Structure formats: structure tokens, C-alpha cells
Amino acid sequence: MIDQFYYKPLVAEVGKEDAGKQVRTVLERRLGVSRKLLSQVKLTEHGLTVNEQRVYTTALVAEGDIIKLRMLREESDDILPQPMSLEILFEDDDLLIINKPAGIIVHPTHGHYTGTLANGVVYHWQQRGEKVRFRPIHRLDEETSGVVAIAKTSYVHQQLSEQLQAGLVNKQYRAFVYGEPASRLGTIEAPIDRDQINPHLRVVTPPGKGYPSVTHYQVSAVYTDGCSLASSVRLKLETGRTHQIRVHMKHIGCPLIGDKLYGLMEAGNRLWEETAGRQSLHAEQLGFTHPITKQYMEWTAPLPTELAQLEKLLNVTNRKR
């Protein structure tokens, strides 16, 4: 009966070193449970128990006691379920990993209440009979494809958010850019903030202003037809600012091919046209430690068709070096 209303509980058996401590101390130390989550579950009948008896967070425990923390099942009632083709890379009781195509927004926003990844995921869960709230760990721009992670409980979301902030999540991207970076291997360390004239855009700001932003890159290949240059680049984010890769690559003189906001919109540009109306940025790899199993997991999404075709065009019509 409890399972109808609660997610699978988090369980901690009290060891000798934790005997005599408060429940909240044990859960914070052993499972990294936040004070915010504890304050939510303690208000529910079965949210926090020791040996199946309801307790307060300040209750003292003894060696061998079994602490269980149960979170109420939640749904995204404000998101309309919509059937959608989803490329699911992984799913268990705690996580959903999806390879998102370009042209889809991750979460509903003003003016985009339907047709988002969230609409499709909520429908997917509804068909599986799961009562889950949509909690993306990170987001990709509408025209960026690739791996997206979605938490299925507030605890998993909290844990992965902390991994992100601590720089423990491996996020690697693939991009095709105009020009050639000054070095084959480098780090772009340049603060980013909103453009004061156009708040929808982000710009690199002078040192001491904006938000610290770090992007590592490695050039995989450089293509030239004798007149123009293009490069294939792999990138790894150390920070996760809005539009970070796009802004940083423009900053070093190598804007993304197909980028409508920060790229080169040249009429008749064959590389621009080859991207099929999307920016050439793909979240190729995502890896982190599973909050429940504690195992490191990694997922990879191959280049989508339109970017694979762009790469083929560059290989065929340009000299690679």
C-alpha cells in the first residue's frame, strides 16, 4: 500500500560509529540527504522511520537500527503528456537518459507549452504507469542534440546537482566551427554574462565581471579548400553557463557552423545550409556516479544524421589536415 504513494525508500543501517547520533546526522553523513529534503519528508506519515516507526529528525539511533526515508510520489501536473518518439539510452527507477534531437526544447517555457522533451517524457511515464515528476539535471539548447539526464526523484536530482557543482560530471561535446583555433589543445577561461542590450544573448565580459566560465577544447581535424577553414572540435565543460560553448568559440574567432545567434549567417553558405537549420553542436558524452548504486556510468550518443553529413561533406570537398 505504501508503494502506491511513495518512491522506493532510501535505507541506512546504523553502524557502531553512528550509534547515539540523530537521524538527520546519519542521513546527511551516510547518504548526503539535504536539510531541505528532510524537512519535506518528515511531514508525511511514512516519510521518516526507524525500524518502521515514525520518528523526528532529532531522534537518536542505536547500532543495528534501520532508517528509511521515503519520498512522496509526484507528477508534473502542469505538463501536458504528448506522444513522442524518444531515443532512450538508459532508464531505471531513479534515472532516465535520453538522446535529444535538435529542434526540441527540454522544458516548457513561455510560448512553448507543448512539443517539448518534457511533454514526451511525461507521456512515456504515463504509459508505463509511473507517477514521476520531470526533473532535468541539465538542459541543452533547442538546436543542440545529444545526451540529457533526467532525475526521477528529488534525492537523485539533489545528488546529481551537487556532482555538477563539484565538477564531477563528465560532459563532452562535439562541434564544427568556422576557422581554426590558435592551438590544437587549449582552455578558454572567459567570464560570461547577459548582453545588456539584448538579454537573450550572452557575451564575454571583462575580467572581474560576469560569471566564471571555463571550456576545454581539442581540435580533431581542420579542413581547408584553399580559401576558407573549418574545424572539428571536441569540448569539455568545467562550468555550465547558458550558451557557454557558443559564446566561447565565437570569442576565439571560431563560431559554430549553423549558429543563428552567434554564427556567420551568410546567404548561400554551403556549410550553413548543410546543417539543416541547426547549430553544429552535439552533446556526445555524459558520465557521472549513479546516486543510488554508487557506480560510475557513462553514455555516448553518435553524431546525428545532419552533422554526420556535414562531416562527410567536409571530408570529401576539403583537404583535411
| Residues labelled catalytic | 141
- Is residue 246 within 8 A of residue 279, CB to CB? The reply is yes
d(CA 82, CA 67): 39
Enumerate residues 6+ apart whose C-beta is below 8 A from 215. 187, 188, 235, 236, 237, 238, 239, 244, 245, 248
- Structural element, H or E, at residue 149: strand 145-151
R_g (Cα) of the chain, nearest Å: 23
- Is residue 157 within 8 A of residue 135, CB to CB? The reply is yes
- Start-to-end CA distance of the chain, whole Å, equals 64
d(CA 159, CA 190): 28
Long-range contacts formed by 304-307: CB under 8 A, 24+ apart: 304/101, 304/102, 304/145, 306/102, 306/274, 306/275, 306/276, 306/278, 307/145, 307/174, 307/176, 307/275, 307/280, 307/282
